[in-house]
Amino acid sequence: MTGAAEWSRFTAALFDMDGVLTRTACLHAQAWKWLFDDFLRRRAGAAAFRPFDEQDDYRRYVDGRLREDGVRAFLASRGVVLPAGGAGDPPDAETVAGLAARKETYFSALLDERGVAVYDDGVAFLRAVRAAGLRTAVVSASRHCKAVLASVGLLAELDAVVDGEDSRRLRLPGKPDPASFLEAARRLAVPPADGIVLEDALAGVEAGQRGGFGLVIGVDRSGHASALRAHGAHLVVSDLRRLLPAAASPAA
């Protein structure tokens, strides 16, 4: 199948936000780098310092995950285990919660400084599926999700949002567990098999596949199509306008 035939039989589309609809993934990557490079440099002492890689480490360990899960996954890759800590830990605490809070301060500062831009193809696809009668949701690990969507005028175009605050409140495990996607499908009253998942993160496409969604579209923003397929994407595109009917597709 090609074009709109890829999604025309479905009744809902569930989008990741960072990297699919908004260009905020680069801000997250920069915030993670500031966090981990400072932590690793101080911990290395006289030993060789190996910095956080904004491409490979970001994609493998933190992209699409809840903050605390990202901290644990990356530190485990470097053989580091920290106490979990608690939600009230300050940003300077040497705990998982403390590092997560520090990353939040870095990301908030970058968001204030640089603002938010959108991916035109992601927005075009969102509007096309809504025009075709599909219900729409955003499923994101970001606790800034609703504010970011509102700032770019997209919040009103969604029937449901499941974000990092919901995951914390409902105690939903983060991606690659499918729980947040399944919660969004429940809110939309749509069986997972009738839903499309659109994700740029490896953890996200894996969550869509594990949740039994009918079509998992990997959005390849950084040349990792094969990895997206390996983690569960049924289809990978670099520009979502390729999946629109000609009449609905704005000029690239």
Cβ-in-10-Å burial (0-12, 13-18, 19+) of 150 comes to: exposed
- Annotated catalytic residue 200: no
From residue 41, how far is each of 33, 45, 124, 139 by CA, in Å? Answer: 11, 7, 43, 34
State the Cα–Cα distance between residues 202 and 218, nearest whole angstrom.
8
CB 155 within 8 A of CB 149: yes
For 210-252, list the strands marked E by DSSP: 215-219, 235-237
State the Cα–Cα distance between residues 198 and 215, nearest whole angstrom.
9
CB 208 within 8 A of CB 215: no
State the Cα–Cα distance between residues 109 and 112, nearest whole angstrom.
5
Question: For the packed helices 25-44 and 67-77, what is the interaxial angle rounded to 10 degrees?
Answer: 50
- Annotated catalytic residue 120: no
Which residue, 14, 25, 9, 125, is CA-closest to 70? 25
Q: Which of 18, 121, 220, 239 is catalytic?
A: 18
Q: Which of 16, 121, 200, 239 is catalytic?
A: 16
State the Cα–Cα distance between residues 164 and 87, nearest whole angstrom.
13
CB 203 within 8 A of CB 232: no
Amino acid at site 118: V
What positions carry a catalytic annotation? 16, 18
